[in-house]
Structure 1
């Protein structure tokens, strides 16, 4: 198996990060919350927004992937943008969320919380594990 050259990896990281940041903005997160969720610094966020190269480690790439996958699951669940983009801020009484919004759960930056949030949302569309 061949791996992508370093320049291609940086380009993919930039595209993924920018997309995740755009989704997080539509979820009404602050820059600090976005940084916590993705475990990236303000300077990395700033570079990504201005189309400059970024390097992301495996953990950061997984976080970007989880944000993209949460968004994908929400788009499959809901037809209207108000729910697709508003769901993460809505109070949720599912046992895992316990009255908190999904954003309340993930904004601290814990990888397990982010993964479990994805898993719970994805399960709503009938995904099997």
Structure 2
């Protein structure tokens, strides 16, 4: 008998709350609309709606989109642990980074390529700073 693996289903409320949090963080990182849409794999109209304070609006997202949101939230958490001041917490992702993986590009530029590997590797490398592994 073959085992069936079922992806975790998220409610519309969970999707909406997560998306709004991620969009808010990306906005504080000074991501453009295009960068935010590429990172989260959402449309421009969804991005605009997520920024509006409309309690009646909700959205369904797939597992890939929720994974992307999770990376943004976890990068933000790592930056908050690393830095005491908001200028670095919110400025670091848009600063040029000369470590090997980023090669002079900002983490935001790398994440905005839109592929999951770039997002994951950006998260992994930023998160590793907490342990001084860089």
Q: TM-score, normalised by structure 1?
A: 0.89
CA distance in 2, matches of 1:64, 1:127: 25
Match of 2:76 in 1: 71
The answer for unaligned runs of 5 or more in structure 1 is none
Match of 1:62 in 2: 67
Q: Which has the larger radius of gyration?
A: 2
- Cα RMSD (Å): 1.9
Aligned length: 124
Match of 1:10 in 2: 12
The answer for unaligned runs of 5 or more in structure 2 is 1-6
Q: Assess, with a 3 A threshold, how the Cα gap between structure 1 residues 19 and 60 changes in structure 2: closer, same or farther.
A: same
* Range 62-71 or range 103-112, more displaced: 103-112
Match of 2:3 in 1: none
Q: TM-score, normalised by structure 2?
A: 0.86
Moved >6 Å (runs of 4+): none
Alignment check: 8 A CA contact 2:29 2:93 kept: yes
Alignment check: 8 A CA contact 1:70 1:121 kept: yes
Match of 2:45 in 1: 43
